[in-house]
Structure 1
């Protein structure tokens, strides 16, 4: 079965209007918008002009996107700084803005989130040997993007 062919947009004005709606719906990185514009079939010069207009109209703001992404992934998904940083790098956000966005995470909230993640996982880990149990918990928290030294400190100080 053939999938329906996507219509291509050739008029930059139509593309700009559609891109404004795309950006107004939720915060986007420049790379996400650029990819979407190319997907719509626009030429590179038209894409860069539209990106410039979106930035000028404040539809597109990398710093605002980085902060929204950071807060969303931290509060909703329970991700650590490392995983958030990787996600932002994947979306081609500049390092300066990544650092700025990561500073918006409160240190106390971060430790509470790490503790909550470990506590929730600890309920599901069935392991008698305490060393193996902590190893599993540490691996899980690392996979969620938390720093190994913070995890180790928390596991030593708490009986999870």
Structure 2
């Protein structure tokens, strides 16, 4: 990709707009910076500016990411944690922010996904349906113990 040259202030403004559009983590901002020709000192100065002006906030990003992935995409805790780790968020912050997922909502969502997916499985024996649903729910990031609990309550 051909890197365009911008002034320092133009790059800073582009990165501010990038952070304003959607909450971002440090990793995403650093990846975006690779599009520009910047010396390390300039990158550091921009990162510090974004943090100081509260455009870049890891905790806000983490909480927003967790809410979005659970309430919109219906991902389970495991998949959310794994994706946050890939974005460079530390375990302590992930654990602290996991309270964004309400336990009752988590169980309701898991139950609804289970019932919807189970009802779509046709032409299989009961145990085949259950194992297929378990694999599906685990791929969505739900814990095996929670899945078994839902199955036993059905």
Fold match, TM over 0.5?
A: yes
SS at match of 1:14: helix
SS at match of 1:8: coil
Alpha-carbon RMSD across the aligned residues, in angstroms, is: 1.3
Structure 1 stretch displaced more, 128-137 or 143-152: 128-137
Structure 1 equivalent of residue 134 of structure 2: 138
Unmatched tracts of structure 1, length 5 or more: none
Q: TM-score, with normalisation over the residues of structure 2?
A: 0.94
Q: CA deviation at 1:7?
A: 4.5
Unmatched tracts of structure 2, length 5 or more: none
Structure 1 equivalent of residue 22 of structure 2: 26
Q: TM-score, with normalisation over the residues of structure 1?
A: 0.91
User: Contact 2:3–2:35 at 8 Å: present in 1 too?
Assistant: no
The question of 1:71 aligning with 2:67 is answered yes
Of residues 19, 36, 43, the one that matches 2:39 is 43
Q: Describe how 1:106-121 pairs up with structure 2 within 5 A.
A: 106-121=102-117
Structure 1 equivalent of residue 78 of structure 2: 82
Bigger RCO of structures 1 and 2 (CA < 8 A, at least 6 apart): 2
- Distance in 2, matches of 1:130 and 1:153, equals 17
Structure 2 equivalent of residue 53 of structure 1: 49
Structure 1 stretch displaced more, 79-88 or 98-107: 98-107
